[in-house]
Amino acid sequence: MRWLEVSEAFEVARVGRADRVLISAEHASNRLPEGWRWSPDDAHLVDSHWAWDPGARDLALELAQALSTTAVLARFTRLLADPNRPEGHPELFRKHADGGEVALNRDIPTEEAAARVESYYRPYHEQLDREVAGAPAELCFSIHSFTPVYQGEPRELELGVLFNEEQALAESLNSHLSRAGYDARLNEPYSGKAGLIYSIEQPAVKHGRRALEIEVRNDLLLDSTKRGEIAERLAAWFRAAHFAE
């Protein structure tokens, strides 16, 4: 049975001991905590990929259940502070989205920026670090989703396997997904070599583990049947793969 530990900044699903893989989802929620309100100017962003990764939380929980492992999930919108960016990054507080200004992040006072980092961004990273440090899992695996149409351009890609250092491991997963019939590609639509697996790679490297991230087109995740099939394919690879170098 799944047990959830919930705080303001994160939730942890503990289905079982994270022996082989530990899961994270940095953009699992579009929740705006108390103390902030969405501006009418941002209303069109709230349920969109600009505010979170639709379907990522569901996939993370289903995969954690299938593997009897642990998943660490952020509980705040990426527009409040993006957990998958380093502190000081220009997109930590995104200024523009969907062709316009993000009202939530217009002229943020220094003390408010500090409060967002101190109350949400850092607690998430600290918990993720604790989970990685305390588990024997050899692989740290982050789950994200991407929109089927970006800035007017359709994306045929279905799954992206992102990596920085772990090319051979990424190629193994990508081949597994491709053989299952998916349009799966390495470091697309974003690249782990551009720092876009930041959140999961930092604790993995610190504690001598390996890190990968998957990007799933969100229309697949919003279909429960297709999401379940993806979870099964991923779980099969995790059970069979050899992570030890």
Q: Where are the beta strands (DSSP E) in the chain?
A: 3-6, 10-14, 21-25, 70-74, 96-97, 100-101, 139-146, 149-150, 153-154, 159-162, 184-186, 210-217
> Looking at this protein, which amino acid is placed at residue 104?
L
Tell me the C-alpha distance between 15 and 103, whole Å.
Answer: 38
Percent of the chain's residues with pLDDT above 90: 94
> Looking at this protein, which amino acid is placed at residue 179?
R
Q: Residue 55 in contact with residue 158, Cβ under 8 Å?
A: no
Q: Residue 200 in contact with residue 24, Cβ under 8 Å?
A: yes
Token output for 195: 């720092």
What pTM value is reported for the model? Answer: 0.96
pLDDT in tens, 22-67: 999 999 999 999 999 999 999 999 999 999 999 999 999 999 999 9
Residue 244's pLDDT is what? 64
> Looking at this protein, which amino acid is placed at residue 35?
G
Token output for 58: 């569901």
Q: Estimate to the nearest angstrom the gap between the alpha carbon of 229 and the chain centroid.
A: 19
pLDDT reading at 212 higher than 60: yes
Dihedral sign computed on CA atoms, order 120, 121, 123, 127: positive
Residue 149's pLDDT is what? 93
pLDDT in tens, 175-204: 999 999 999 999 999 999 999 999 999 999
pLDDT in tens, 98-141: 999 999 999 999 999 999 999 999 999 999 999 999 999 999 99
pLDDT in tens, 134-166: 999 999 999 999 999 988 889 999 999 999 999
Predicted confidence band of residue 245 (pLDDT cuts 50, 70, 90) = low
What domains are there in the chain, each with its CATH number? 3-240 (3.40.630.40)
